[in-house]
Amino acid sequence: MNKGMLYAAGAYIAWGLMPLYWKSVQVVPAGQILAHRIAWSLFFVVLILTARRQWGWLRGALRRPRVILLFTLSGFLIGLNWFIYIWAVNAGHIVETSLGYFINPLVNVLLGYLVLKERLRPAQWLALSVALAGVLYLTISFGAFPWIALTLAFSFGTYGLIRKTAPLNSAEGLFIETAVLFLPAFGFLLLMESRGVGAFGHTGLPVTLLLIGAGIVTSIPLLLFAAGARRIPLTTLGLLQYIAPTMQFLIGVLVYNETFGLTRLIGFGLVWLALVLYTIETLIVNRRRAVLPAGV
């Protein structure tokens, strides 16, 4: 296994283990966990950029309002994504969060069609239709819209769409995103402290250290992912992305005993079938493109 595979797999494994991390601080309200994640992520990304001596880009970025606007928007999207995920994990909805990240690749395809006007191939339409059938089946069967999964999928999909068109790397982008969110996050923490309900330093040393560590578990996987993405084909990266939701799903069912009966199996099964169709079609198309120059 080359370095690129190791870096990318490491990132997805870290993301797959996230439910265990957030569960370990579930005595802290989700809003405070999010605020600490933002604040400590900013702290650690500043350390990373300083260690790398990579601050030359900032002056140019500040002179480009479009760049700041894009990363402000992506910052609020990732903040929403983080909050929903943390809350859902600690409220006993790990399985549904995994559904959100299973359907994320298909949401990316849909956003490409709606926003970038990309043409979809027949197999992609089929995969989207099968996934939609799975979501509708779950909605009708449970009498409730799977809003957690869809909010996670669309917030992260839109976030990825913005980052795809933005001119900064992962660490630089994360700096602007967390810097934009820092003041409201820090203000919220001060407010909680003034009301006597702040968790930091009041819930035991292990929880306090884990809140600080939220910055590390946010920053390191992003850097690993960026390093891996530069070294391996996009197709390989696309296959590795299923590591995280698979691990999250297994943690929800096997570790925390979340319900997964026949109804959920059918709904998830349709989504998994859609992913199989999408993945096979993508592999076939990429293989054809790879051999095309040899035949010209």
For residue 238, how far is the Cα from the chain centroid? 14
pTM above 0.95, yes or no: no
Per-residue pLDDT of the chain (296 residues; tens, 9 = 90+): 578 889 889 999 999 999 999 999 999 999 999 999 999 999 999 999 999 898 999 989 888 989 999 999 999 999 999 999 999 999 999 999 999 999 998 898 898 889 888 888 898 899 999 999 999 999 988 888 899 999 999 999 898 888 877 788 888 989 999 999 999 999 999 999 999 888 898 888 999 999 999 999 998 998 888 888 778 876 677 788 899 999 999 999 999 999 999 999 999 999 999 999 988 888 888 777 766 554 44
116 neighbors 63 (Cβ within 8 angstroms): no
DSSP-derived secondary structure for 239-257: HHTTHHHHHHHHIIIIIS-
Q: How far apart are CA 95 and CA 152, in angstroms?
A: 12
